[in-house]
Structure 1
């Protein structure tokens, strides 16, 4: 059994009951409403500060369902014509920092954020940020599905998010032909998926979406957006090379980032945390072995100072890098 509550920004969240280890429930019943005011309250329970305005003279109707897939939340809306607006004052009063994908499964919609406006038909989708004002207007008999991740776990710079939000991915585009069915299948997934399976599926979809986002609209100087964090991580690595447990997980814990975000930052500069740590350790050991100040130090001592777990690991890694073993290299350069 899950407890349902809202966070400080008014967003819907789920809390797993303590002591339960069952696979999460992927299904969720629809909540229906034929009262526009009640419907607006339901929407605000999910999205926080938004205005909801009906755009039809016909009797109002709305159906809403929510599902949780690890760090991913999905929300399905089936509604009459209406408009959702999140203003700057709402952002200030009820802040949140999610990046979500809005997929039109049926009908049509208009999405506006920043300087971008997109008109969507069935199968099309867009990115929207909750940390900035936006408007979503849907036509009658529209089925809309939102997929929401915390933005700090996605690994996109702020400028990248601004470049991609409210820009349409067409169902007929090369990436759309892959991702639209994948998103629908993810939302419609039945019971019986393990917790670990849910996490892998959600992360895999997130990675595919980021690939699509970067293909759609990458800022001109992406590296500049990440250079500061990357350089700070490299300095941290240099300061902690003597720690044999130094790893990508150390960076995740120290910089309060997700593992995916850390790896993505290194990937932007053509590397990985593991490779950079290994290269830095080898370079420190190489310099120490040929430095006059360390001429009397043993190779084993130098290996430990560079953070290698054993002399055997150091010798094997050094030989693979420089073509000769550490003792021979030292003899050749003194």
Structure 2
């Protein structure tokens, strides 16, 4: 992969000293302890966009390290996976007792709910996509064995993910919200495919994995029904409600949380879609299984930090 100057071509708003860079990174992704061997000469910049709850950005910086500590994790309210493409420079990732050296073109995957460190010994440039953990419907125990490893180094899938993520992270802020959302979700799907490829070398999928995927497909197909619930899902799959809850407890989530978040995602997609501009917020909420407009608005604001009306495209 060809390397380039870390600040080349991303149209960064400004190049920052250490303290403002630390603050900007914390605002854009999650709170991190950013350190530099020489704080006086450190320079860094970032550019990106949040498309709903998927964050895509480019980061360029001189030699530094970032650390996600236990104390920072305890204050977190959102639970994310992060996927990074190192476009230029060299580095190392450490998580879950593993460490992997990274060079330009390498990709890696890590969990913001557990401590990690990223160390860059020279000028570096990264493309990053960060997304809620429940968007990656893969077995948690196997995902935990892939953190801090190099993914897709020589695979066909990896060769497709690299240019897509690099291009998206550089241009995402120039896109309208609807397009940015769709392309960012595509990036998550591509990352999921790459991670799933990595899991294939670990173990064959279990019966629980197959059942969980069937349940998720069922949820997606029935999101519009206000009657969708753990009992109705369990009955449709001829299992007990307790068994159903166990499938998702293994993932660190609940059935109700998955239903709520997928409904919110679908509503978000429709709210920013220009073709839905003539539909009211209430009609979109009801069409996606919410039964109370006020409750929907409170839930949406709690999840995205904005009211539903706040993300709608302005009419010309």
TM-score of the two chains, using structure 1 as the length reference:
0.57
The alignment partner of 2:157 has SS state of helix
- When residues 156 and 254 of structure 1 are mapped into structure 2, their CA distance, relative to the original with a 3 A threshold, is closer
Q: What stretches of structure 2 of length at least 5 have no aligned partner?
A: 1-9, 216-229, 239-254, 266-316
How many residues are matched? 224
**Contact 1:126 / 1:167 at 8 angstroms: preserved in 2?**
yes
Counterparts of 1:149-228 in structure 2, within 5 Å, are 149-189=131-171, 193-218=175-200, 220=203, 221-224=205-208, 227=211
1:89 aligned residue (32, 49, 71): 71
Deviations 1:119-163 (A, max 9, x none): 111111111111111101112210112111111123233223212
- Report the counterpart of residue 33 of structure 1 in structure 2: 16
Rounded to whole Å, the distance in 1 between the matches of 2:213 and 2:160 is 32
Rounded to whole Å, the distance in 1 between the matches of 2:68 and 2:195 is 23
**Contact 1:64 / 1:76 at 8 angstroms: preserved in 2?**
yes
Larger radius of gyration: 1
Deviations 1:264-286 (A, max 9, x none): xxxxxxxxxxxxxxxxxxxxxxx
**Contact 2:92 / 2:100 at 8 angstroms: preserved in 1?**
yes
Which shows bigger deviation, 69-78 or 139-148? Answer: 69-78
Q: 2:238 matched to 1:256?
A: no
- Report the counterpart of residue 235 of structure 1 in structure 2: 234
- Report the counterpart of residue 16 of structure 1 in structure 2: none
Deviations 1:275-313 (A, max 9, x none): xxxxxxxxxxxxxxxxxxxxxxxxxxxxxxxxxxxxxxx
Rounded to whole Å, the distance in 2 between the matches of 1:171 and 1:43 is 27
1:140 aligned residue (96, 100, 122): 122
The alignment partner of 1:224 has SS state of helix
- When residues 142 and 228 of structure 1 are mapped into structure 2, their CA distance, relative to the original with a 3 A threshold, is closer
Deviations 1:216-237 (A, max 9, x none): 1255354335747867665243
Shift of 1:97: 0.7
**Contact 2:29 / 2:130 at 8 angstroms: preserved in 1?**
no
- When residues 95 and 139 of structure 1 are mapped into structure 2, their CA distance, relative to the original with a 3 A threshold, is farther
Counterparts of 1:1-334 in structure 2, within 5 Å, are 29-34=12-17, 36-56=18-38, 59-189=41-171, 193-218=175-200, 220=203, 221-224=205-208, 227=211, 234-237=233-236, 255-258=259-262
Rounded to whole Å, the distance in 1 between the matches of 2:212 and 2:137 is 14
The alignment partner of 1:163 has SS state of coil
TM-score of the two chains, using structure 2 as the length reference:
0.60
Q: What stretches of structure 1 of length at least 5 have no aligned partner?
A: 1-26, 240-250, 262-334
**Contact 2:138 / 2:209 at 8 angstroms: preserved in 1?**
no
- Tell me how large the CA RMSD over aligned residues is: 3.4
- Report the counterpart of residue 241 of structure 2 in structure 1: none
